Amino acid sequence: MVFLSGLAGSGMAGATSLEGGTWRCLRPDTPDNIREWTTYHFNHDGTIHSQEWVQTRQGDEIALDFTMTVDYQLSHNGKQYVLKPVLLQRNIKVDRDNLNPFDADALRDLLGYRIFFEPEFGDENHARFEMRHHITPNQRFILHCSRQI
């Protein structure tokens, strides 16, 4: 798809495309008591399949452990790439304090989110994904990503 090939534009030295690739990402600012990763698989049809795993510890005990899977539609608004969630699923393994992350109301709200997406490539297998939600445009979050081979 030509659309996704356009992701290899300026500032992306050596990269040819995200299309058809899977990237595993980590947040550099994750606190010590949290383990997490996110994968993004860029499909040829302009959709992205992601899976996020989060585990929070309190001392030696796991307080929260869940995965969330999100399918996105990728578009371009003339200035930047936009991820629109189209399907969300969660699987809570441990919720010691009954936090119930992403309950039905939160899942409904997440479907209304738009995430602005700006990839920067170090090389064809390493990238920095800068993202921000449309409701908090000044609060960017960074993911350090590696292409999975």
Mind listing the pLDDT tens digit of every residue in the chain (149 residues)? Answer: 333 444 544 333 334 467 778 999 999 999 999 999 999 999 988 899 999 999 999 999 999 999 999 999 999 888 889 999 999 898 999 999 998 877 767 666 666 788 998 999 988 899 999 999 877 778 899 999 999 97
Instruction: Answer whether 34's CB lies under 8 Å from 20's CB.
Output: no
Q: Where are the beta strands (DSSP E) in the chain?
A: 22-26, 34-42, 47-58, 61-76, 81-95, 115-123, 126-133, 141-147
Amino acid at 7: L
Residue 102 has what pLDDT? 73
Residue 26 has what pLDDT? 97
Residue 62 has what pLDDT? 97
Residue 100 has what pLDDT? 84
Q: Is domain 2-147 classified as CATH 2.40.128? A: yes
Q: Where are the domains of the chain?
A: 2-147
